[in-house]
Amino acid sequence: MYLLLAVSIIWALSFGLTAQVAGLGAPFVTAARTVLAALVFLPFLDVKGLSPRRVLAFAGIGALQFGFMYLLYIESFRWLRPSEVALFTIFTPLFVTLVSDLFAGRVAWKTLLVAALAVAGTGICVWSGLGRAGMLRGFLLMQGANLCFALGQVLYRRAAPASGKRDRDLMGVLYLGAAAVAVAMAAPAIQWDRVLGMDLRQGVVLLYLGLMASGLGFFLFNAGARRTDIGTLAIFNNMKIPLAILASGLIFREPVDWPRLAAGGAVIACALGLNGAAVARRGSGPEGP
């Protein structure tokens, strides 16, 4: 759980930063982030003993969880404000839970309940009314991104333990899969006038997003995903949102609706407490894949 909390703090700073580079185009930003993330973990790559089929499977997980997810996520900034993008990520816990149940062939109603509580608590934190033009398109893009991210998490959580490899051994393969998809889709769509006109601030932001938010962030998140139960994983998919609001108020001195944040945070804490009690009754340790 502590790994998931650490990456939630890293990601809490990323929504506003992503908006600053969205003008460079979703294909380019996605390609840059995934290539930078791949460069971080290529020195640790170790697929010795894995069959080519299994290596390709991990590359496919990375292409889905990071590559296609980022293309949809960054494209949504054309239609949504950063706060609205954050809002529309709240459904990811439900996707995580439902995808896990689909693979397991059963519905874990208690886990689904705590995921729904996490969605409700996050919604309380950020809901401010909708209705602008283009909102539906942005919403659908974000739900596609949420589904890709959730499916990738569950697939990695199921496949990684059976590989006998450490997380750092595998992340390079995942990022190479993501980079292959991103670069292939970016090549014909890059708007070079925008990219070549990138200023120093955008360059620094892109490095942070690629090396920290994507590289270190997804490594920690996937490492945490294989070490925790599915309910905790679902809840922590939304933890970055109230943390982002908290950072906006305490660090960036932006106006924050503190009672709303406190109420939403209390609901999320309740979801964590209920899930922890359920896990304790089942016995400690993560659920089986």
CA pair distance 115, 207, nearest whole angstrom: 33
Q: Give which of 67, 69, 37 is closest to 211, Cα–Cα.
A: 37
Backbone φ/ψ region at 48: left (φ over 0), alpha (ψ -120 to 50), beta:
beta
Q: Quick one: pLDDT at residue 44?
A: 93
Q: Quick one: pLDDT at residue 136?
A: 79
Concatenate the DSSP letters of all residues of 87-137 into one string: HHTTTHHHHHHHHHHHHHTS--HHHHHHHHHHHHHHHHHH------TTHHH
Q: Quick one: pLDDT at residue 187?
A: 83
Q: Give which of 132, 111, 82, 134 is closest to 240, Cα–Cα.
A: 82
Q: Give which of 117, 114, 148 is closest to 229, Cα–Cα.
A: 114
CA pair distance 119, 90, nearest whole angstrom: 5
Cα radius of gyration (the chain): 18
Q: In the chain, where are the structural domains located?
A: 2-282
Q: Quick one: pLDDT at residue 70?
A: 85
Task: Report pTM.
Answer: 0.76
Widest CA span in the chain: 58
DSSP state of 285: S
Taking the chain (289 residues) in consecutive chunks of 10 residues, what is each chunk's mean pLDDT?
Answer: 82 75 83 92 93 96 92 84 72 81 78 72 62 75 92 93 92 94 85 87 92 90 85 78 72 69 76 71 48
Q: Quick one: pLDDT at residue 286?
A: 45
